[in-house]
Structure 1
Amino acid sequence: MKKRKIEVAVISDVHLGTYGCHADELITYLNSIQPKKLILNGDIIDIWQFNKRYFPPSHLKVLKNIIGMASKGTEVFYITGNHDEMLRKFSETSMGNIKIANKLILELDGKKAWIFHGDVFDVSIQNAKWLAKLGGYGYNILILINSFVNWCLAKMGRERYSLSKRIKNGVKGAIKYVNNFEKTAGDLAIENDYDYVICGHIHQPKKEYYENNSGSCLYLNSGDWVENLTALEYSFKRWRVYYYNHDKLSPFFVDEDLKEMDMNELIASITDKGAETEEILKSPILKKENDLNFLDDQSMAQD
């Protein structure tokens, strides 16, 4: 089966380098599409919680797939988020078909799309980063507990259960925060004459028209690849939310032989793609194994 050709694909909140990341599922999704533009809308590599002792081959394979897509002509935009904020120092940097930015404005069929991660609306990140990082560690532990719970449920033949969604939906403050986030994004988009506003950050996939007294816009959130496993896709002048658990295509599978790939094999497989990719490998995103230590050290230094 051929890959689905789409105009734009948006993914965010992958959190590579954490136990909650569903890298295998994301690889399957990336193998099923051929987008003209791939937008990585923040928190792709989780530098906040980066640990060089945990970065499995499947997580490296995600990076390889993205670089491979870029080498074949896909425009890749890496928009920085709070968990990969260290890359903001490289904003406006281009490496072949890969571009790093803090925000992005695209014109799609005569309409303007305003794309950014969304952490700028998060007061805890702006004013108490240590508290936000502590919450990130707590969330990671909750995901680990949830994985064990779901393993037990699967053994009993029962459906998966999301503890974090249960907590979020049961806490009025969390609901209010999400509503305020969406309202702020919508108001600013209308004020600046954008037709679409596209965010990540809050792990809540959504497609909804937003209106106020000044006009309307389409609010879109790409969700995440920790709990919801979602993406945004644009084709034929329309947006849709892609849900991996419901929309996945069975002919596409994770490459089993790549699960045991180590760092040297990964670099060797990428460098075979030519000089353009070699230039990408010199970047701080994926240079060689010492660069992973560099990311870890820099993140610790910022703390």
Structure 2
Amino acid sequence: MKIKRKIEIAVISDVHLGTYGCHAKHLLTYLNSIEPKKLVLNGDIIDIWQFSKRYFPKSHMKVIKKIMSMASNGVEVIYITGNHDEMLRKFSNTTIGNISIVDKVVLELDGKKAWFFHGDVFDVSIQNAKFLAKLGGYGYDLLTVLNRCVNWYLEKCGKERYSLSKKIKNGVKGAVKYINDFESVISDIAIENEYDYVICGHIHQPKIEYRENKHGKTMYLNSGDWVENFTALEYQFKRWKIYNFNKDKLAPFIIDEEVENIELKDLIAAITIVDHVKEKAKI
């Protein structure tokens, strides 16, 4: 029997099911490794912009089935709409069983307010030129297909994977400025509204960072994506961490910094999980 990591909240975004760039098998492996109380799907889960009946592999369908199964087994699933799945916004504020569809949500986490939304509402390029944004989406999809071929060759040669899109984005001053502006605007609004955490996706840049201005401070978090970074956000023991599939694999949630006021039963449960994993590794 596989041991699953128990966490309070898992946040994934920018999965882009239905596109060639989506790594559904990686995501499925991750979802099978956790047992969250809440699963927040923070936008662009299904890529309706580029959806085609000709391409929707079984692995992509398995992700949807897995999420439905988690909901039926008591996990609260919050689906926050994004720009690539914006058609679902007509169903906003709809709840079916344990699944709710919203445009944004505020949750109270251990006495602190967390503001969740996808982030496209702050993207001027999408709001003012949706056609160009969609065209860019197709170009990005073609780039990820090319990247897969490159990485297949690199892995065969025993070399590290390489992200073409990340290299391009990080090398273009305009893209870097856009990302910085995106993070600053969102953080400033969160501070203005006295949110302790602001959690988004959209720009495919996983990050946890304290942001501060003269009015206060907040923690900015981005869940990244499952196209090139393979990351998620996890909340447990009153703190956040970025889960990275390439680095963490199925490692247990180990406390790596001082944590105050942890319930004894929670700590025992975490230690038990770690011990079980270690014993299994010896077999």
- TM surpasses 0.5: yes
1:146-167 Cα deviation digits (max 9, x unpaired):
1111112122222111100110
- 1:137 aligns with 138
* 1:193-208 pair list within 5 angstroms: 193-208=194-209
Q: Which runs of 5+ in 2 are unaligned?
A: 253-283
* 1:148-167 pair list within 5 angstroms: 148-167=149-168
Say whether residues 1:107 and 2:108 are aligned partners.
Answer: yes
Tell me, in whole angstroms, the C-alpha distance in 1 between the residues paired with 2:162 and 2:27: 20
1:29-87 Cα deviation digits (max 9, x unpaired):
00010100000000000000001110000000000000000001000000000000000
- 2:44 aligns with 43
Tell me, in whole angstroms, the C-alpha distance in 2 between the residues paired with 1:223 and 1:68: 24
- Number of residue pairs the alignment of both structures matches: 251
TM-score normalized by structure 2?
Answer: 0.87
Tell me, in whole angstroms, the C-alpha distance in 2 between the residues paired with 1:154 and 1:12: 26
- 1:86 aligns with 87
- 2:217 aligns with 216
Tell me, in whole angstroms, the C-alpha distance in 2 between the residues paired with 1:242 and 1:155: 26
Say whether residues 1:240 and 2:244 are aligned partners.
Answer: no
Task: Go from structure 1 to structure 2 and tell me whether the alpha carbon gap of 1:134 and 1:186 turns closer, same or farther (over 3 Å shift).
Answer: same
Tell me, in whole angstroms, the C-alpha distance in 1 between the residues paired with 2:43 and 2:192: 24
Partner-residue secondary structure (3-state), 1:228: coil
1:231, CA displacement in angstroms?
Answer: 0.2
* 1:275-290 pair list within 5 angstroms: none
What is the one-letter code of the residue matched to 2:37?
A: K
Q: Which structure is higher in RCO with an 8 Å CA cutoff and minimum separation 6?
A: 1
1:92, CA displacement in angstroms?
Answer: 0.3
Partner-residue secondary structure (3-state), 1:137: helix
Tell me, in whole angstroms, the C-alpha distance in 1 between the residues paired with 2:58 and 2:177: 38
Tell me, in whole angstroms, the C-alpha distance in 2 between the residues paired with 1:105 and 1:164: 32
Partner-residue secondary structure (3-state), 2:25: helix
What is the one-letter code of the residue matched to 1:219?
A: Y
Partner-residue secondary structure (3-state), 1:149: helix
What is the one-letter code of the residue matched to 1:227?
A: E
Identity of aligned residues (%): 75
- 2:172 aligns with 171
Tell me, in whole angstroms, the C-alpha distance in 2 between the residues paired with 1:19 and 1:115: 27
Tell me, in whole angstroms, the C-alpha distance in 1 between the residues paired with 2:12 and 2:161: 23
TM-score normalized by structure 1?
Answer: 0.82
What is the one-letter code of the residue matched to 1:213?
A: K
Tell me, in whole angstroms, the C-alpha distance in 1 between the residues paired with 2:203 and 2:90: 23
1:129-151 Cα deviation digits (max 9, x unpaired):
00000000000000011111111
1:2, CA displacement in angstroms?
Answer: 1.8
Partner-residue secondary structure (3-state), 2:242: strand
1:250, CA displacement in angstroms?
Answer: 7.5
Tell me, in whole angstroms, the C-alpha distance in 1 between the residues paired with 2:3 and 2:154: 35
What is the one-letter code of the residue matched to 1:27?
A: L
- 1:76 aligns with 77
* 1:224-303 pair list within 5 angstroms: 224-249=225-250
- 1:67 aligns with 68
Partner-residue secondary structure (3-state), 2:188: helix
Point out 4+ residue stretches in structure 1 off by more than 2 angstroms: none
Tell me, in whole angstroms, the C-alpha distance in 2 between the residues paired with 1:177 and 1:124: 10
Partner-residue secondary structure (3-state), 2:116: strand
- 1:17 aligns with 18
Tell me, in whole angstroms, the C-alpha distance in 2 between the residues paired with 1:220 and 1:163: 24
Task: Go from structure 1 to structure 2 and tell me whether the alpha carbon gap of 1:219 and 1:18 turns closer, same or farther (over 3 Å shift).
Answer: same
Tell me, in whole angstroms, the C-alpha distance in 1 between the residues paired with 2:42 and 2:231: 12
Tell me, in whole angstroms, the C-alpha distance in 2 between the residues paired with 1:244 and 1:161: 15
Tell me, in whole angstroms, the C-alpha distance in 2 between the residues paired with 1:158 and 1:44: 30
Partner-residue secondary structure (3-state), 2:250: coil
